[in-house]
Structure 1
Amino acid sequence: MTDIVLSNLLSPAVLFFALGLVAALFKSDLRFPSGLGEALSIYLLLAIGLKGGLALSHYTLDQLSAVLLATLSLGIIIPIATYLICAAFKVDRHNAIGLAATYGSVSIVTYGAALNYLHHEHVYYEPYMNAMVVLLESPAILVSLFMLRWMEHKQNNTATYQTPMGITASSMRPFWPDPAVIKESLLGKSVLLMMGGLAIGWLGGERFYPVIEPLFIHLYDSVLILFMLNMGLLAGERLPELRAFGYKLPLFGIIFPLLYGPVGVVLGKWAGLSTGGMMLMGVLAASASYIAAPAALRSSVPEANPSVYLGLALGITFPLNLIIGLPLYYYLAVMLS
């Protein structure tokens, strides 16, 4: 186990993340141009989608039914469990919903680091797992927003108002997400790029591989370490924001991945995945989104404090998964195998 942890700590992705973290903590003037950070993000999102589509082109729906069910189950179970845990610790409703959406969704960069980890360890995984990243991006956001609307509806079952005739009337408040929220969740940058890449890769199959390979396969690892450097800078800047919330919120950033990761590994075992596939399912369950979920929360739950869900996702859960989580989920997968 120690060898696995040391191997992960010394991987290029983790070392570049650590470099960015140190630079931010020591107030370095190192900064990524906003346009470059955006370009790196677009590249990674599209690359993940294309790889998933190419992988899916080799399989039928019957072959994927179990892993699809396991993945969608995570998108429903995790946000509900996260909200209930937050509510038990007296976290206010809107910030609890923000954490539910963030931890129910998935970190693409953590998943990319997990792929590098398996490649370094020479461990096989089912190629169609790349497609599961796309499927897990939106369900938790929609489930979280539905929970919020349902609770608001339950608390305020009727809203009173004055008619032009001066008569007090009441109307039922809708408890489902409005169309704008659904559009933001399904057509936001991350989901659109991954779903678009997935569709293009699936439709093109092997015919597209010679065109996709030079940019999206060969250069993927190099682009990832640049993105990890930028993530280290962002995480270091977010860490001080958590102090105002006491010990409970940082504790969530540690508990949630270590709780959900093993659940994902077990579901991967149920779905019949290989050791590498089980580990990746654990990573999907343990990681927290800092792209799609925050984008949806800003427009639909403005009461939720971004420093809470972004601070935890970037400042605690992300580095925790890189340093401890990846070897832990791999170790559990080996044990179950």
Structure 2
Amino acid sequence: MDFLSDFLTKFGAQLQSPTLAFLIGGIVIAALGSKLEIPDAIYKFIVFMLLIKVGLSGGIAIRNSNITEMLLPALFAVVTGMLIVFIGRYTLAKLPNVKTVDAIATAGLFGAVSGSTLAAALTVLEAQGMEYEPWAGALYPFMDIPALVTAIVVASIYTSKKQDTADEYLSKQEYLSKQSVAAGEYPSKQEYPTSRQEYRSQQRITAGGYPRKQRERVKIWPIVKESLEGSALSALLLGLALGILTQPESVFESFYEPLFRGLLSILMLVMGMEAWTRIGELRKVAQWYAVYAFVAPLLHGFIAFGLGMIAHYATGFSPGGVVILSVIAASSSDISGPPTLRAGIPSANPSAYIGASTAVGTPVAIALGIPLFIGLAQALMGG
């Protein structure tokens, strides 16, 4: 009972944090019909500022720390990102009225990482005085890229198999028509061998079928390249590179650090309003997406929390680091993921995966996931 009461007390305190308050405030004013709007250019600038700050702090920390400390958490981040996609493939995709391709794309988006949710988690951890490895934010790409690549590859394999099943074998009449051969007739001897069997053999046609369609090979590098070129990941990686290769401490401490919390509060307000407007998109698709978007962030976070605890006991990974790993697993990409999936899985319905992520998944990850995993870490590891 002491554990439960302690956890509930800490969980309730997290819900009152400024970061979550701005998110809830955005949802409330949007629900009341407010016309408040934050220009898209300002939104993108805020996201850039937040992520380059996270990248700079991570890069500075990596430069000053032992790189081997990252290996196990980074491996767990990769495994979690890929596992989330397969969980969605074999759970959400099996539910009524859910198309498999849409389910895979949704799982890919939930496996990818939200930079804004990561920034929110870092802010809350700092407000709580909970220590974490400064390089923990650099786990972002280790989960984000494998999740997106896995989703696109799995979707490509599925659609390819489905297309082969539908188109691999024509009826005899269709094949003969396509070959300009009348039913029961075959080309003359000059054009074609002596027997029907030889004709089928030469054309590689099985009895009652027609040539097998060549399956296009899924190319991995373009997917990785597109992810790396995405605005969110580019900003984070730029910050990492500058932090590792240069000495940006002075500009970091005088400019990026003081602005961080204020910019984040504006971002949370925008995301709250966006979450409310996206709820309408969920009405266009199966309600199972809403159920998945509520349950999945917490499930994914618990998986990552368990792996993080293994790293904690094996390598001394901090409780705050375990929280960060859990939160990025609970998050769903809000910037780089949607355009990557739109290009990589064009047959998927954006209303399904974007609506599920923005309307339900992100608020759950921020409002419930962050306080939940902080409370668990404090109760179990004394963070």
The answer to whether the superposition gives a TM-score over 0.5 is: yes
1:298 and 1:151 map into 2 onto residues whose CA distance is: 16
Q: RMSD between aligned alpha carbons?
A: 2.3
Structure 2 Cα separation of the partners of residues 157 and 186 of structure 1:
32
Q: CA deviation at 1:9?
A: 2.2
Letter in 1 for 2:68: D
Amino acid corresponding to residue 281 of structure 2 in structure 1: E
Aligned to 1:174: 216
Q: Please, which of 30, 35, 51 is the counterpart of residue 36 of structure 2? A: 30
2:347 is the alignment partner of 1:303: yes
Q: Residue 105 of structure 1 aligns with which residue?
A: 112
| Structure 1 unmatched ranges of 5 or more | none
* Paired letter, 1:17: L
Counterpart secondary structure, 2:144: coil
The answer on whether the counterparts of 1:146 and 1:175 sit within 8 Å (CA) in structure 2 is no
Q: Is the 8 A contact 2:115 2:232 kept in 1?
A: no
Q: Which residue of 2 aligns with 1:84?
A: 90
User: Is 1:60 aligned to 2:62, yes or no?
Assistant: no
Q: Which residue of 1 aligns with 2:233?
A: 191
Structure 1 residue 279 and structure 2 residue 286: aligned?
Answer: no
2:144 paired with 1:137: yes
- The Cα of 1:153 is off from its aligned counterpart by 3.0
Aligned to 2:131: 124
Mapped partners of 1:182, 1:261: distance in 2: 24
Q: 1:122 to 1:86 in 2, by over 3 A?
A: same
1:250-295 residue CA offsets vs partner (Å, 9 max, x unmatched): 1101110121111111111111222111111111111111111101
> Do residues 270 (structure 1) and 277 (structure 2) align?
no
Is the Cα contact below 8 Å between 2:15 and 2:371 reproduced in 1? no
Cα distance, 1:241 vs. partner?
A: 2.1
- Cα distance in 2 between the residues matched to 1:27 and 1:169: 58
Give 1:221 deviation, angstroms.
0.8
In structure 2, C-alpha distance between the alignment counterparts of 1:259 and 1:5, rounded to whole Å: 17
Question: 2-side partners of 1:241 and 1:149: how far apart?
Answer: 25
1:232 corresponds to 2:272: yes
Note closer, same or farther for the CA distance 1:208–1:180 as it changes in structure 2 (3 Å cut).
same
**Does 2:197 match 1:153?**
no
Q: CA deviation at 1:119?
A: 1.5
Q: How does 1:34-49 map to 2 (within 5 A)?
A: 34-49=40-55
Q: Partner of 2:34: helix, strand, or coil?
A: coil
1:106·1:136 contact (CA, 8 Å) conserved in 2?
A: yes
1:327 and 1:42 mapped to 2: Cα distance? 25
Deviation at 1:149, TM superposition (A): 1.4
Task: Summarize the Cα distance change of 1:336–1:175 in structure 2 as closer, same or farther, 3 Å threshold.
Answer: farther
Does structure 2 retain, via aligned residues, the 8 Å contact 1:71–1:136? yes
Would you say 1:261 and 2:301 are equivalent positions? yes
Say which one has the larger Rg: 2
Q: CA deviation at 1:4?
A: 2.1
- Is 1:51 aligned with 2:95? no
Conserved? CA contact 1:100–1:144, under 8 Å: yes
2: CA distance between counterparts of 1:260 and 1:19? Answer: 26
Superposition TM-score, scaled by structure 1 size: 0.91
Contact 2:145–2:224 under 8 Å retained in 1: no
Post-superposition CA distance 1:71-109 (Å, at most 9, x none): 111121111112211122142122112111111111111
Q: What percent identity do the matched residue pairs reach?
A: 29
C-alpha change, 1:116 and 1:126, in structure 2 (3 Å) is same
- Matched residue type, 2:72: A
Deviation of 1:155 after TM superposition, in Å, equals 3.1
SS of equivalent to 2:334: coil
Q: Distance in 2 between matches of 1:232 and 1:133?
A: 22
Task: Give the unaligned 5+ runs of structure 2.
Answer: 1-6, 181-202, 204-209
Contact 1:138 1:191 in 2 (8 A): no
Separation (CA, whole Å) in 2 of partners of 1:11 and 1:288: 21
CA-CA distance at 1:115 after TM superposition:
1.4
Residue 328 of structure 1 is matched in structure 2 by 372
Separation in 2, partners of 1:177, 1:86: 26
Q: Which amino acid aligns with 1:26?
A: L
Q: Offset of 1:177 from its aligned partner? A: 3.6
TM-score w.r.t. the length of structure 2 is: 0.81
